[in-house]
Structure 1
Amino acid sequence: MNIGILGLGLIGGSLGFDLRSQGHHVLGVSRRESTCQKAVALGSVDQASLDMSLLATTEVVFICTPIALIVPQFEQMIAYLSPTTVVTDVGSVKAPIVKAISPLWDHFVGGHPMAGITDSGIEAAHRHLFVGKPYVLTPDATTATAAINVVEEIVRSLGANIYHCQPEQHDRAVSWISHLPVMVSSSLIAACISETDPDVLQLAQKLASSGFRDTSRVGGGNPELGVMMAQYNRQALLRSLQQYRHNLDELTNLIEQEKWTDLEEKLTATGKARPDFVE
């Protein structure tokens, strides 16, 4: 199968590795010539170009650009595609993308692999990134069944676990477990560096270990991605942030009032709930 990848960063590059290993012919398009050259040299794609016309022979295209570019890049790309070409994306926000593209292309299937890491770019791409990871598909009532079947088959071949939901459900869910943690993690780092005693700050930096590393990781990631999460999933993220602030206020009040038994009950409850989210 001829498969196109528009956007050769972490996700696009990793997709290319796995799809080529299965015998697919992979064609990549990037905004930078240097990225095209690296993708070919690394073996992520068979061919790469700055020109979208390279995608004219593809049967399936994955749009792996930053969120803000998905719709405008799609609108440019469709001039080169066959009407039967299946198009999917990997954006971490789904409702605005599906709303914009579905009326234009009934072979579009919204998608989101939950497989990101802190590093970005084609250099960060690696094989088997999607194995065992959730991969959400958000087709709507107008999506061609054949297109859904094609994307499902490819996703299964990556070793990912497929989930279906409405675009709005997806955006509310990821606001809790993906977008909110980025903002909370960033706030943690900002709070720490606000320490006014330079000796204390330096000591904290030297003592920081696994607890700080785990809770601060996503706050130290790609700032462009964080801004786009907030911009394109604004309402759901604001709702999550407000609820988080409410829970933080509750903890603050328990500590101020020295209600240690109530605090222990709260921490016990959250400890029991964590395995429902993370194995």
Structure 2
Amino acid sequence: MNIGILGLGLIGGSLGYDLRSQGHHLLGVSRRESTCQTAVALGSVDEASVEMNLLAAADVIFICTPIALIVPQVEQLIAHLSPATIITDVGSVKAPIVEAISPLWERFVGGHPMAGTADSGIEAAQKNLFVDRPYVLTPDANTPQDAIAILEEIVRSLGAKIYHCQPAQHDRAVSWISHLPVMVSAALITACMGETDPAVLQLAQNLASSGFRDTSRVGGGNPELGVMMAKYNRQALLSSLQQYRQNINEVINLIEQEDWKTLEAKLQSTQQARPFFTE
């Protein structure tokens, strides 16, 4: 199968590695010629170009650009394609993307692989990035079943776990477990950097270990991606942030009141709940 990738960064490059290793012919398009050359040299794609018409031969195309570029790039791309071509994306927000693209292209299937690292760019791409990771598909009622089936087969070949849901459901869910943590983690780092005593700040940085690394990791990721999450999933993220703020205020009140019994009960509850999000 000829598979196209528009956007040769971490996700696009990683898709290229895995799909090419299975015998598919990979066609890559990037805004930069240097990225195209690197992707071919690294073995992520067979051919690469800055021109979209390279993807005219693709049977399935993954749109792996930043969220803000997905719809504009698809609008340009479809002029080069056969009506049989399947288009999917990897954006972390689904409702606005599906609403915009579905009327333009019948064989579009919204997608979101829940995988990645704090690094970006084609050099950050890695093999087996999607193994045992969730991969969400958000087809609508009009999406052709054969297009869904073909994409499901490709996703399974990556070793990912497929989930189906409505675009709006996806956006509410990821606001809790992906977008909210980015903002909370960023706020944690900002708060720590607000320490006014340079000696104490330096000591805190020296003492920071696995606990701080775990809770601050996503706050130290790609700033552009964080802004796009907030911009395109604004309402769901605001709702999550407001509920998070209520919980923070509750913890502050318990500590101010020295209500250790209630605080312990709250921490016992979170201890019991965490495995439902990590197993």
TM-score by length of structure 1 reads 1.00
2:2 corresponds to: 2
Equivalent position amino acid for 1:268 in 2: Q
The structural deviation recorded for 1:230 is: 0.1
Secondary structure (helix, strand or coil) at the match of 2:142 reads coil
State the distance in 1 between where 2:184 and 2:120 align: 21
1:157 corresponds to: 157
Instruction: Provide, for residues 142-196 of structure 1, a one-character-per-residue CA deviation record: whole Å limited to 9, x for no partner.
Output: 1111110111000000000000000000000000000000000000000000011
1:129 corresponds to: 129
Equivalent position amino acid for 1:76 in 2: Q
The structural deviation recorded for 1:116 is: 1.4
The alignment status of 1:243 with 2:240, answered yes or no, reads no
CA RMSD of aligned residues (A): 0.4
State the distance in 1 between where 2:72 and 2:95 align: 16
Alignment of 1:191-230 (within 5 A): 191-230=191-230
1:48 corresponds to: 48
The alignment status of 1:72 with 2:49, answered yes or no, reads no
State the distance in 1 between where 2:7 and 2:123 align: 13
Moved over 2 A (4+): none
Secondary structure (helix, strand or coil) at the match of 1:163 reads strand
The alignment status of 1:179 with 2:179, answered yes or no, reads yes
2:19 corresponds to: 19
Aligned length: 279
2:99 corresponds to: 99
1:29 corresponds to: 29
Q: Percent identity?
A: 78
1:252 corresponds to: 252
The structural deviation recorded for 1:104 is: 1.0
Instruction: Provide, for residues 120-154 of structure 1, a one-character-per-residue CA deviation record: whole Å limited to 9, x for no partner.
Output: 11000010000000000000011111110111000
Q: Gapped runs of 5+ residues in structure 1? A: none
Equivalent position amino acid for 1:140 in 2: D
Equivalent position amino acid for 1:35 in 2: T
State the distance in 2 between where 1:100 and 1:272 align: 40
Equivalent position amino acid for 2:194 in 1: S
The structural deviation recorded for 1:105 is: 0.8
1:277 corresponds to: 277
2:268 corresponds to: 268
The structural deviation recorded for 1:219 is: 0.2
Q: Gapped runs of 5+ residues in structure 2? A: none
The structural deviation recorded for 1:74 is: 0.3
State the distance in 2 between where 1:18 and 1:212 align: 32
Secondary structure (helix, strand or coil) at the match of 1:17 reads helix
Equivalent position amino acid for 2:106 in 1: D
Instruction: Provide, for residues 53-74 of structure 1, a one-character-per-residue CA deviation record: whole Å limited to 9, x for no partner.
Output: 0001110000000000000000
TM-score by length of structure 2 reads 1.00
Equivalent position amino acid for 2:269 in 1: A
State the distance in 2 between where 1:261 and 1:278 align: 27
